[in-house]
Amino acid sequence: MLRKFELLLLTSFFVFSSRSFADQVTLKNGDRISGTVVKSDGKTLTLHTDAGGDITLKMDAILEIKTDKQIHVTVKGGKTAVGPVSMSDGKLHIATKTAGTVEAPIGEVTLIRNDAEQAAYEKSLHPRVTEGWTGGASVGFSVARGNSETENLALALNATRTSLHDKIVVYATSINTTNNLAPPGFTTVANLATGGFRYERNVNPRVFVFGAGDYMANALQFLDLRQVYSGGFGLHAIQNDATKLDFFGGVNYTHETYSNGNPIPNTNPVVFASYGVTNRFVALTLGEALNQKLGKSTVLAQNFTFFPNLQDTGEYRFVFNLGTVTKINKWLGWTNQFGNIYVSNPPSEAKKNDVIFTTGLNVSFAH
C-alpha cells in the first residue's frame, strides 16, 4: 500500500513539475493556456502549444503571463530587458539578472521574443550571402500518343533570400511543347524560357530601391533573346505575416533580337520569312507584386509589370503572372501557374498574346 502511495506521489510530482516548466497565459475570460511564449509585436502574442501548434492571442485579451525561461522584451524607445516574465495589472515584470525586476506597461511593449526568436533576429542582421535562401523547384510533364504525338515539359525554379535590410530573388522557367506529327519546321508548339534576378534594398521600412535583370526567349514570337535591365524605387504598401504588397516604378534599357521566323512551306531549298530585327530602347518599368497566404497550406503569388516604350510611345509590353502553391507535406506541394505575355509590336506572323497555364509538383527548400 505504501509503495502504491509512493508511486502515485512520484507520478504527481513529475506531472506538476512538467506543467510548472511550461509558460502560462491566462485570458480575461478565465481560460488558461500552457505552452511556450514565442514572440509578440505588442498587439498579438504567439504561443506554441503541444496540442495546437502555434496559436495567436490578442494582447488586450490577456490577463496574466508567466514564463520560466528568459524572454527579450523591447519597449518604445528601443530599450530591451531580458529575464523571466510575469504580467499583472497591465504591466510586464521582467526579472533581469543585472537590474533586478523591471516593469514595462503593456502599452509600451513593442516586441517580445524568446531566445530562439532573438537568436534568429540577431543572425538576420548580418547574414552571409549563402544563408537565408528559401524557394522551390516545380516540374510538370505530359505525353500524348495515338492520333497525336505531343510532349510537354514545364520547369520552374525560384529562390529568395530575405534579410531585415534587403532581398535577392533569382528565377528561371522553361516550357517546351512539341508535336511530332506536324510538318518539318513546325513541330514546336511552345518553347518559352525566362530567367532573371532582382535585388531590393530598404531605404526605410516603407521605401526600397531595386535593380533587376530579366531575360526571355520565345520561339513562337521568333524572339531569340530579350534583355531588360531595370532600376528604380518601390513602396511596401502592406507588410504582415499574411499579406505582402509592393508597388514599384523605374526605367529600363531593353535589347531584343528577333530571328527570321518560320520556314515558308513548299520551298526548296527552305526559305524563311525575312524580318530579322534588333531593337534597343529605353522604357519605363511599372508594376506591383502580391504575396498572400490562403489558409494554412496555400500561398498565392501574383505580379504585373508594364513596360511602355519611351522612344516609341505607341509601343509597350506587359507581363502578368498568377500562381498558387498548396502544401502536401513539409517539402512537397501542388502548384498552378497562369501567365500572360503581351507585346504590342511582334513580328508580322506572330500574335501579340501568349497565354500559358501549367500545373505540377513543387519541391520546396530552405537554407
Domains observed in the chain: 22-125 (no CATH), 133-366 (2.40.160)
- Report the alpha-carbon distance of residue 94 to residue 260 in Å, rounded: 74
- Report the alpha-carbon distance of residue 323 to residue 337 in Å, rounded: 4
Number of Cβ atoms within 10 Å of the Cβ of 268: 5
The pLDDT, as a whole number, for residue 53 is 87
Number of Cβ atoms within 10 Å of the Cβ of 13: 10
Asked if residue 42 lies in contact with residue 57, where contact means CB atoms within 8 angstroms, the answer is no
Asked if residue 107 lies in contact with residue 63, where contact means CB atoms within 8 angstroms, the answer is no
Partners of 127 in beta bridges: none
End-to-end Cα separation, the chain, in angstroms: 57
The pLDDT, as a whole number, for residue 361 is 93
The pLDDT, as a whole number, for residue 356 is 87
The pLDDT, as a whole number, for residue 15 is 43
The pLDDT, as a whole number, for residue 159 is 95
Reported pTM: 0.69
- Report the alpha-carbon distance of residue 282 to residue 75 in Å, rounded: 48
For residues 106-121, give the mean pLDDT: 89
The pLDDT, as a whole number, for residue 21 is 54
The pLDDT, as a whole number, for residue 2 is 44
- Report the alpha-carbon distance of residue 24 to residue 33 in Å, rounded: 6
Higher-confidence residue of 145 and 203: namely 203
- Report the alpha-carbon distance of residue 32 to residue 25 in Å, rounded: 6
Place of cell 503571463: 65
**pLDDT tens for residues 88-99?**
888 899 999 988
Task: Tell whether the model's pLDDT for residue 81 goes beyond 70.
Answer: yes
Residue 267's alpha-carbon distances to 185, 244, 264, in angstroms, are 12, 55, 6
Q: Can you tell me whether residue 18 is helix, strand or coil?
A: helix
For residues 133-156, give the mean pLDDT: 85
Place of cell 516604378: 249
| Percent of the chain scoring above 90 in pLDDT | 53
